[in-house]
Amino acid sequence: MSVSDPIADTLTIIRNALRARKETVEFPASKLLERVMGIFKNDGYIEDYRLLKDNKQGILKVYLKYVDTKPGIMGLKRVSRPGLRVYADNGRIPRVISGLGTAVLSTSKGIITDREARKLKIGGEVVCYIW
């Protein structure tokens, strides 16, 4: 069975793992997902991630973060999807929970956060929200 939206599948895997209090989670790797996990790590939502080699595309292993038994990620939401793409220009980049969360954007400069996009004054496709 082919996967039509690997980003949504990955966010669901992470969300389910957090509810089950898992320490780590694994899913098929891609360059896009690796960059998104890099943003999650830099913003402090996950502890770490590793790219594990296999005979195919590789596997991303994500180490989830918990603070006093509370997950580091309170919510994840897929915004732009294959059936309905969502784009934001420079002046309309969304703020997630009044700036407490992070919007991940796919831009001409790569995968970046909403704060970086405002600083660079560029827009792009809104991939997901995390808070």
Q: pLDDT-derived band of residue 1, with 50, 70 and 90 as boundaries?
A: very low
- Determine the pLDDT at residue 89: 95
Q: pLDDT-derived band of residue 2, with 50, 70 and 90 as boundaries?
A: low
Q: Express as a percent the part of the chain with pLDDT over 90.
A: 91
- Determine the pLDDT at residue 3: 76
- Determine the pLDDT at residue 85: 97
CATH of 76-130, one of 3.90.1150.10, 2.40.37.10, 3.30.1490.10, 3.40.50.10490: 3.30.1490.10
Residue range 6-71, CATH number: 3.30.1370.30
* Residue ranges per structural domain of the chain: 6-71, 76-130
Q: Convert the pLDDT of each residue in 30-79 to its tens digit.
A: 999 999 999 999 999 999 999 999 888 999 999 999 999 899 999 999 99
Full-model pTM? 0.92
- Would the pLDDT of 129 be above 70? yes
Burial profile 22-55: b = 16 or more Cβ within 10 angstroms, e = fewer: eeebebebeeebebbbebbbeeebbeebeeeeee
Fold match between domain 6-71 and domain 76-130? no
- Determine the pLDDT at residue 109: 96
Distances (CA, A) of 65 to 22, 36, 45, 58: 10, 16, 7, 22
Q: Convert the pLDDT of each residue in 75-105 to its tens digit.
A: 999 999 999 999 999 999 999 999 899 999 9
